Amino acid sequence: MVLTRSAKGKEPASSSGRSSAGIGGSRRRPILLGDSGSASRGGSTARRGESRGRTSSGDDGHDSDESTPVSPLCEMGCEIPPSYEDDDWGGVATGTRLRCRHGLRPRRKICWDGKHTGRRFLGCGLEDGNLKCRFVEWCDPAWSQRAQAVILTLWDVVEDFRQHELQTIAEIEEEVQRIQTLHQSQCERAESEKKRAWMVAFLFAGLLVATMVGMALKMTN
C-alpha cells in the first residue's frame, strides 16, 4: 500500500522545464507500510508469540508440563543466596509451573544474607548444597535503598560481633592450652619427684638393713 500526498492542483512548470516537486526532478519518497521493517517484524513477533502461547498452553487450553518456564539466573552475582526455610514459607512449591534447571519443582526459601535478607524466593529443588543449580525466582520485590543500607549496616554489626566472638574463643582456647600444658608439666614433675622419693626410701632401707646385719655379726663375734 502506498500513501502519497494528495495534490490540490497542478502547478505550472517553470521556464527551465523543472517541476515544482524539486530541483533536478527528484520526488519525495512515498511512505510504505512496513518499509522500515518495524511493521513486518512486529507482525512476525506477534505470530511467534501466538505460536509460542499455543505451544505452552496446549490445544485444550490447559498448562502443559512439556514447556515449563525456567527462571533466569540469580541476580546476586550468579551465586545462590544463603537461605533458610520456616513453617510459613518452606518446602516444595506446588502452585507454580516453574522448574529449576534439574527439571524439579522449586523449594520455597527465605534469603538470609546481604541486602536481600528477608526476601522470599524459589530456589533449586535439590536439598544437597553441592548439586544445587543457580535457579532463583524472587517472590518479594526488592527492598528500598534505605532499607538495604540499614540491612547491610546490621550485617556489619553482626560480622563485627562474630569476629570479636571468634577472637574471644581463640583467646580462651589458647589459655586452656596453656593451662593444660602447665598441668601436664606439673604432673610430670610430681611423677619425677615421686620416683626420686621412692629411690631414696629404698636406699635408706638398704642402708638400715646393712647396718643391722653388721651389728648382729659384730655381737656374735
Output the pLDDT for position 145.
Answer: 95
Burial class (CB in 10 A: 0-12, 13-18, 19+), 111: buried
Largest CA distance in the chain: 178
> Considering only CA atoms, which of 179, 110, 177 is closest in space to residue 139?
110
Output the pLDDT for position 78.
Answer: 52
203-219 burial, b if ≥16 CB within 10 A, otherwise e?
eeeeeeeeeeeeeeeee
At 33-71, the pLDDT tens digits run: 333 343 333 444 333 443 333 333 333 333 434 445 554
**Below-70 pLDDT ranges, the chain:** 1-78
Output the pLDDT for position 196.
Answer: 87
Output the pLDDT for position 27.
Answer: 40
- The CA-atom distances, in angstroms, between 61 and each of 45, 54, 58 are 21, 8, 6
At 5-31, the pLDDT tens digits run: 444 444 444 433 433 333 334 444 333
